[in-house]
């Protein structure tokens, strides 16, 4: 081929009377492919989780998501905590997100602060719902991932809310009116368990005030249970999912809170009912610890009684309510046990 090329040029030179100058192309050897650098350090995940897809969707998203189950049922309002290897943590709740199917789940960007998780790192995922809790370790994979958590039931009639949207209740419209108490002026105070909302009505059922939102910050509520009102009109809430009791004034301003998850004095696990006597002493049924706790009006621990069991003075069923009479006697209504 090269000889033919030269012959053509010589013929041209003969016809034109001159030999043109030309340069033959240089043929360079093909370089060998260099091996990719290997690193043992974790690879950071792509940032961003703005357009997160529901669990199971084929479109990849940089996040972790999943369902929380009790006895095969998907529940809304379950608390999910993710802890990084460096001890950073984020707390959020299973809920229905706008633009998705009406199935509650959790979702979170792994690479965003404060977690800043990298692939290959091990995180701890903990789900809590009422008195139920389950933790697991998970090794983070590249891209999006789905981690479901299954909780065991404690009682046959545990509260299970399927496909519930956690949204504030409106006047005369409740997601679940769970408990009620009378006020000193003849009105009623009502707690909406699913709506995480407190509403106060007059004696002729006119709405006087309302407050509350889903969360774990002071003044927020998570699956609140019992409600009580003292002689001054202050409101006491058994904040079940946050393992505490909160006290509000009649305008909804937070006065104090007591508790915290645990089994020690004044600590609680999923308190379900609350009562208050004439002197301001507070009585709480500490469901996860199968006991009644008495706190003073300032929240100091005073006494506790009860253990798990079916004998007299023990508890092993679902506590429906707790009340205290004018003489200081405490009554606990328990279901699920035969006399």
311, 297 contact by CB (below 8 A)? no
Task: Provide CATH code, domain 64-151.
Answer: 2.60.40.10
Give the start-to-end residue ranges of the domains of the chain: 64-151, 177-335
Task: Report how far residue 286's alpha carbon sits from residue 85's, in angstroms, rounded to the nearest whole number.
Answer: 32
Per-residue pLDDT tens digits of the chain, which is 339 residues long: 444 443 433 334 444 444 444 444 444 443 343 343 344 555 554 444 444 444 444 433 368 989 999 877 888 778 899 999 999 888 888 877 666 666 888 888 888 888 888 888 999 999 988 768 899 999 988 777 889 999 876 544 444 443 333 444 455 566 667 889 999 999 999 998 877 889 999 999 899 999 988 888 889 888 898 999 999 999 999 998 889 999 999 999 999 999 998 999 999 998 999 999 999 999 999 988 999 999 999 999 999 999 988 888 888 767 678 999 988 899 998 876 554
Terminal Cα-to-Cα distance of the chain (whole angstroms): 107
Task: Report how far residue 230's alpha carbon sits from residue 320's, in angstroms, rounded to the nearest whole number.
Answer: 20
Q: How far is CA 208 from CA 16, 204, 278, 306, in A?
A: 108, 11, 24, 38
Task: Report how far residue 153's alpha carbon sits from residue 159's, in angstroms, rounded to the nearest whole number.
Answer: 9
Are the folds of 64-151 and 177-335 the same?
A: no
Nearest CA among 131, 118, 55 for reference residue 286:
131
* Global pTM value: 0.55
pLDDT per position as a tens digit, 49-70: 444 444 444 433 368 989 999 8
CATH architecture of the domain covering 177-335? 6 Propeller (2.120)
Q: How long is the chain?
A: 339
């Amino acid at each position: 081929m090269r000889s033919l090329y030269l012959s053509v040029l010589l013929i041209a030179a003969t016809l034109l009377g001159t030999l043109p100058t030309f340069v033959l192309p240089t043929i360079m050897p093909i370089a060998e492919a260099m091996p990719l650098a290997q690193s043992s350090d974790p690879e950071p995940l792509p940032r961003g989780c703005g357009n997160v897809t529901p669990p199971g969707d084929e479109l990849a998203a940089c996040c972790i998501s999943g369902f929380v189950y009790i006895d095969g049922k998907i529940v809304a309002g379950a608390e999910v905590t993710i802890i990084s290897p460096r001890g950073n943590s984020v707390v959020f709740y299973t809920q229905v997100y706008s633009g998705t199917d009406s199935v509650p789940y959790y979702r979170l960007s792994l690479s965003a602060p404060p977690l800043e998780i990298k692939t290959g790192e091990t995180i701890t995922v903990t789900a809590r719902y009422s008195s139920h809790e389950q933790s697991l370790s998970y090794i983070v994979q590249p891209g999006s991932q789905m981690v479901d958590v299954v909780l065991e039931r404690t009682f046959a009639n545990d509260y299970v809310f399927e496909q519930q949207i956690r949204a504030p209740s409106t006047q005369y419209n409740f997601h679940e009116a769970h408990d009620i108490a009378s006020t000193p002026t003849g009105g009623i105070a009502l707690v909406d368990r699913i709506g995480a909302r407190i509403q106060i009505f007059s004696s002729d059922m006119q709405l006087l005030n309302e407050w509350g939102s889903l969360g774990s910050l002071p003044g927020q509520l998570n699956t609140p249970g019992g409600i009580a009102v003292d002689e001054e009109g202050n409101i006491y809430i058994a904040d079940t999912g946050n393992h505490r009791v909160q006290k509000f004034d009649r305008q909804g301003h937070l006065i104090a809170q007591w508790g915290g998850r645990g089994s020690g004095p004044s600590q609680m696990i999923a308190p379900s009912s609350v009562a208050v006597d004439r002197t301001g002493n507070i009585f709480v049924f500490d469901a996860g610890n199968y006991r009644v706790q008495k706190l003073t009006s300032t929240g100091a621990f005073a006494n506790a009684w009860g253990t798990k069991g079916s004998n007299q003075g023990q508890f092993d069923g679902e506590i429906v309510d707790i009340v205290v009479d004018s003489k200081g006697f405490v009554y606990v209504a328990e279901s699920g046990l035969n006399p």
